[in-house]
Amino acid sequence: MKPKAHRTQVSASQLELPLGGPGAVHDLAYYIGVCKVFAAYHKRWPTADASRDEFRAARVREVDGRRIERELHFPAPALEADPEYQALRERCLLDGMPDGVSLEALDPRYRTVLLDTGIADLFASIALPLRAGPDAVRYATGLPAHAVDELTLRIGQGIAVQALGAAGFDPQDPRVLARSFAVRVRANDELKSVIDRIGIHRPSAGLRLADHYLLDAGEDGRLTVRYQLLAGGRYAGRFDLGQLGAKLASVYAADPELAQLRSARPAGTAGMPAVPPTPFAPAPGSIEELREQLAMLQPEGRSLKLPIQALSRFADIRRLLEKAGGEYRAAGQRFDFEEGIAPADVVGRLLKDGAP
C-alpha cells in the first residue's frame, strides 16, 4: 500500500504551485502568484503595508508588501523583460501612476479589461437617439433620457469626421458634427462585470448608468470608462479604429436627422472659406504615432518636459530617451540630461532618424 503523504508535505507542495521552485524566474506571474496566496489566506489583496508576519501566516516567507512594491518599481532584468510586465507598466503610467506597477495594479480588479468580443458586442449596439416625444423624459437638448443600461459613447473627433465623410456628409457643417457625437451604446454584461470588478461604484438598482459614467473611444484606439462627476477614469480595452469607423458610418447614413442636413448648408456660411479637414490620428503602435508624441516633448534647460496629455507610447519614448542619456524624473514629469547634451537636439535626431 502506498504510504499517505504527511500534511506538511502536502501543504508545502501546494504552496509552491503558483510560486515555482527556489530558482523560479521572478516575472509578473510570480508576483501575481505570491499575491494570490496571500489573498486566499487573508481574503483580501495585499497592500504595501502588509507585514512579513502576514505573509508568513500565508506560508510565504522572506517577503512583505514594501519589498514587493520596491521590486515592482525597480524591476530585475527578468521582470523588466517580461512583455506582460511591460504592457502593465505602460498602462499604469497612462493611468497617472508615476511609479509604474504597484501591488494595486496586480489586483485582478484593475487588470480586468473587455475582450475583443465584448467590445464588438458593445459597438454593435451603437445608435443615435431620436427626438423625444412630448410625454417622454428628456434633456434640455430635446434628446430622450438614457435608459437604465444605456451609456454615452464619446467619439474622438478624428474618428467621427472620417466616418461622416464615408457616409456622404459634410463634416465641416457644425450641425452635422454636433449630431455625430450624440452616440449611445447598451452596456452589455461584460462591461457591467468590468465596472464591478475594477472597483468603480455601481449605482443602485433603478438609477441610470449614464448618470455616473460614460465611455470614451479615443483616437489612439483606447476604450476608457470615465466618471461623470469625478475626474479620471479606467482603461477598459483596445478597439479597432477601422471597425468602429465603419459601424459609425453605417449608423450615420441611416439617421433621418442627418439625412435632412445632407445637402442643406447652415445659414450665414455661404461666403465662408472651407475649413481644412481634421487629420485622422495615426494608427496605434505605428512609427507615425511615436514620432507625433515625441514632438510633443518640450525642451526646458537640460530637461525635456512631458506634455499634460497622457502618452500612449510613453514606454517606447522612455526607452529611447534613456538610451540617449536621459534620466526620467517621475516627480517632475521630465527627462534630465547631463551637461553637454542638448535635449532639443536629442528629440530632433530621433525624429530625423525615424525613432525606431
Neighbours of 61 (CB within 10 A): 9
Q: How far is CA 39 from CA 42, 57, 58, 108, 250, in A?
A: 5, 11, 9, 11, 47
Q: Which domain holds residue 346?
A: 287-353
Residues 85 and 39 in one domain: yes
Residues 140 and 223 in one domain: yes
* pLDDT beneath 50: ranges in the chain: 5-18, 267-272, 275, 277-278
| Unique residue bearing C-alpha cell 501543504 | 11
Total domains present in the chain: 3
DSSP 262: S
pLDDT value for 22: 54
Residues 70 and 179 in one domain: no
Domain boundary among 61, 92, 111: 111
pLDDT value for 293: 86
In a domain, 310, yes or no: yes
pLDDT value for 13: 37
Residues 204 and 102 in one domain: no
Segment 211-233, tens digit of pLDDT: 888 889 988 888 888 877 666 67
Structure-derived torsion over alpha carbons of residues 170, 173, 177, 180, reported in degrees to the nearest 10: -50
Three-state secondary-structure class, residue 171:
coil
Neighbours of 77 (CB within 10 A): 8
In a domain, 226, yes or no: yes
Domain boundary among 57, 82, 111: 111
Residues 126 and 242 in one domain: yes
Domain boundary among 111, 129, 162: 111
In a domain, 281, yes or no: no
Alpha carbons 28 and 86: distance in angstroms, whole number: 9
pTM: 0.53
